[in-house]
Structure 1
Amino acid sequence: MKKIILFVALISGMMVMQSCVREEVVVDDTVDYDTISEVWEYSNVDFHAGNNYSKFLNFPHAIYSSDMVLVYRLAGGGSAGDVWKLLPETYYFDDETLDFGYKNDFTQYDAKIDLYGYDLAGLSGAYRLNQIFRVVVIPAYYGKSAKGKTVDFNNYKEVIDFYGIDESKFMKISE
């Protein structure tokens, strides 16, 4: 009798164990919710012979090497708001030959802006002194998520709107 009870208990246990199903849940979390675009504003940027008409804008922190960096220069303003021009930016003489321009490159740690052209020492201080630049960092993820959508990178306002950047939260850095 003990053997029959043991046998029934064993069979019952096996049936109970068979009803326990282990389900694996795989979470496909490919969306990076904690990566945000950033804007840093650099003011009082001067270009002169002493710095070889170049300026490094050091980032407050390192960015990912895959991030996209856009650099804009405050070119003017009016009742409609500020006018931001995307670098590289070139100015020409009336005969359409190069006068001067701004160009940039960047690393994970900084952006370098060069003023180049002819007679830079004779160039108006309005283009050399107290310049204001905005560096817009766009995480690489956004490049993948924007498939089928386009943004005009020359239009600062469109970039800010497209990437949902809150301008009230940008960081001001004085050089």
Structure 2
Amino acid sequence: MKKLLPFLLLLVGSLFIFSCKDDDDDYVDNDTYSVVYDYSGVNFTYNDNDGWNYYRTLPVTMYNTDVMLIFMQTDTTTTGSPVWTPIPAKFNPVVNGTSQEVYYDNDFSISDFKIYVRGTFDLQMMASTFLNNKNFRVVLVPANYSNKTDLRKLSYEEVTAKYNIDDSKVVKL
């Protein structure tokens, strides 16, 4: 019996070892779903308080723990697919022979968002490039405090893959 006891303890202990699972990085929030809103043909407006901006209320109310990610279409691939750049973003155009800077940034609440554009030159000089007819994707994703991934560093493709977002079901607004 004394020889059988260590074997039984080892067997019981091994059951606990194999039943534990560390999947904090793969956390899925099952009570919230991800959604993508497409804002096409955006024209920024100017006001003295905010400068150049685009403000919209959301068609849904987010949970306080959810996150909004905004991507701007900056190009297309050779096959015609859009190239999405995460906001905030900085660009360095050459204007009248001088390197300048253009910044896109955003803020959001559970019910609205605003995208800002700032530049080191008069943006109206290149309104067709930086202020008019821009395309944005606003992605609402569930987030929790145990998720270790900084979502702002992910590309649009990485976010849609991480949250199993079907790009063909983007809501056009």
Instruction: Flag the structure with larger Rg.
Output: 1
- The CA deviation at 1:33 is 2.5
* 1:134 and 2:133 matched: no
8 Å Cα contact 1:48-1:121 kept in structure 2: no
Greater Cα offset, 33-42 or 128-137: 33-42
**In structure 2, what is the equivalent of residue 160 of structure 1?**
160
User: Map of 1:92-107 to 2, 5 A cutoff?
Assistant: 92-93=92-93, 98-107=100-109
CA deviations on 1:5-30 (whole Å, 9 max, x unpaired) are xxxxxxxxxxxxxxxxxxxxxxxxxx
TM-score of the pair, normalised by structure 2: 0.70
**In structure 2, what is the equivalent of residue 111 of structure 1?**
113
CA deviations on 1:30-88 (whole Å, 9 max, x unpaired) are x7533111111111210243684111122111101211111000111023521100011
Uncovered stretches (5+) of structure 1, i.e. residues with no partner: 1-30
* 1:49 and 2:51 matched: no
**Which amino acid is 1:109 matched to?**
S
In structure 2, the CA distance between the partners of 1:96 and 1:107, relative to structure 1 (3 Å rule), is: farther
**Which amino acid is 2:160 matched to?**
I
* 1:85 and 2:88 matched: no
CA distance in 1, matches of 2:110, 2:74: 26
8 Å Cα contact 1:151-1:162 kept in structure 2: no
Matched residue pairs, number? 141
TM-score of the pair, normalised by structure 1: 0.69
The two structures, once aligned, show a CA RMSD in angstroms of 2.8
Uncovered stretches (5+) of structure 2, i.e. residues with no partner: 1-27
In structure 2, the CA distance between the partners of 1:67 and 1:152, relative to structure 1 (3 Å rule), is: closer
8 Å Cα contact 1:88-1:103 kept in structure 2: yes
In structure 2, the CA distance between the partners of 1:158 and 1:152, relative to structure 1 (3 Å rule), is: farther
